[in-house]
Structure 1
């Protein structure tokens, strides 16, 4: 496939420190989440407000009320709509969400409702797309719902494994919806993924573990049932990692 220019490079972060690191490293846009250990959840209103104060680049906010699947109860979906409206009303540029039906299809009605509530914000369908039964069918549903872009690793764990499906998704989209590639992208593979699939945008998280500054450590309890060592290790966005991967993507 002939090399093509990228429209945007988006970095996934879970706090405002990550947003600052990403924009310092040259990111075009940020996806702001909480709890990347669960694949990303809705951040607090306070985090979003602080992000607005600090951001010099656009950021989109994750709207996902819990981990697990993307089949939401009516109560959960109403909470998602309220989050979308709240972010819209304070001037956020975009939101990231996804809803599925039990049979593995896009919940087109709910996605359309989210889009209507979000405007004039942009709407990205996240990797709920990768849990659908058929990527071409899912693209058509998202286009009908008015979604602006879809984030996908080609229905595999990583973009490298999903190269063929990613390329097919770009072809199926036919310019009607932006396809943003993701899934284990780094400075060693990002150029290959872009040039092989034709994705218009890319998305990655460049994380590194940083030891906690806590000197006192309670050896008898782990919050949330996690490994005790996890209590004293923080995952942070690596400005150096972001910069290196962006350079690899831009130097094609």
Structure 2
């Protein structure tokens, strides 16, 4: 059993949980140093996150933090073919073999609703892992119905911006979803969550966990790499101080609520 599997989710009275999404080893180390409680492990965060490599999963499984891996085999929409579902099942196998604590899943049907058949197949295959429904939830036509579907499938939480580009913009819908959930599932705000925006979310929403990248612009890349399309001019990188500030805000919010 890895260290990550021995840790616990926040219970009543805990500080609250900060999940940081990362797509490289440097980002994971920065998140740990800043006090993150859980990692969403990805590749290609520039397109919303794809399945990380097996090597990255195995390396992350040796780090002192809970890690959930994104299971998304390609960029674009969330309507997956039978072949892609088979690939996703194999990626779930890699998550388990790496000793990670969870998997992040999502799939939609041709009508835009959650694909309960595909998700049921994936959830059964991921039995024993901590399951997050990712932001495929934000493209469904009826989030109230989708929340009930997620509960029925056994997800621990839903990562959502309330169907908007950012969680702040979707704050009203997030509040309604939290009220509907009645503690049966965690509604975890994500997208555009930073210290500058988190205060509004934490004041208006009763949440026990939040999701962020805490990324800042890194140094400019080698112009030749940019010219050959191997890199963007400025690459985003996880910032330890931003993680630390956001964790402090979450902790202080929980203290105020419990006072």
Which residue matches 2:248?
A: 247
Q: Secondary structure at the match of 1:92?
A: coil
Structure 1: how far apart are the matches of 2:24 and 2:227? 28
Which residue matches 1:227?
A: none
Which residue matches 1:99?
A: 107
Q: Secondary structure at the match of 2:61?
A: helix
Structure 2: how far apart are the matches of 1:106 and 1:213? 40
Q: Does 2:24 align with 1:23?
A: no
Structure 2: how far apart are the matches of 1:219 and 1:122? 38
What is the aligned-residue RMSD (CA, Å)?
A: 1.8
Unaligned runs of 5+ in 2: 1-12, 254-259
Which residues in structure 2 correspond to 1:40-189 (within 5 Å)?
40-53=49-62, 55-189=63-197
Taking a change above 3 Å as real, the CA distance of residues 187 and 218 of structure 1, as seen in their structure-2 partners, is closer
Deviations 1:63-105 (A, max 9, x none): 0001110001111111001111221133210010100111121
Is residue 33–residue 42 contact of structure 1 (8 Å, CA) maintained in 2?
yes
Deviations 1:185-217 (A, max 9, x none): 111221320231222210001112222564x72
Q: Secondary structure at the match of 2:224?
A: coil
Unaligned runs of 5+ in 1: 224-229
Structure 2: how far apart are the matches of 1:94 and 1:192? 29
Deviation at 1:5, TM superposition (A): 6.2
Deviation at 1:175, TM superposition (A): 1.2
Q: Secondary structure at the match of 1:180?
A: strand
Q: Secondary structure at the match of 1:114?
A: helix
Q: Secondary structure at the match of 1:43?
A: coil
Taking a change above 3 Å as real, the CA distance of residues 188 and 211 of structure 1, as seen in their structure-2 partners, is closer
Q: Secondary structure at the match of 2:113?
A: coil
Structure 1-normalised TM-score? 0.90
Deviations 1:39-61 (A, max 9, x none): 000010001111122x2110100
Structure 2-normalised TM-score? 0.87
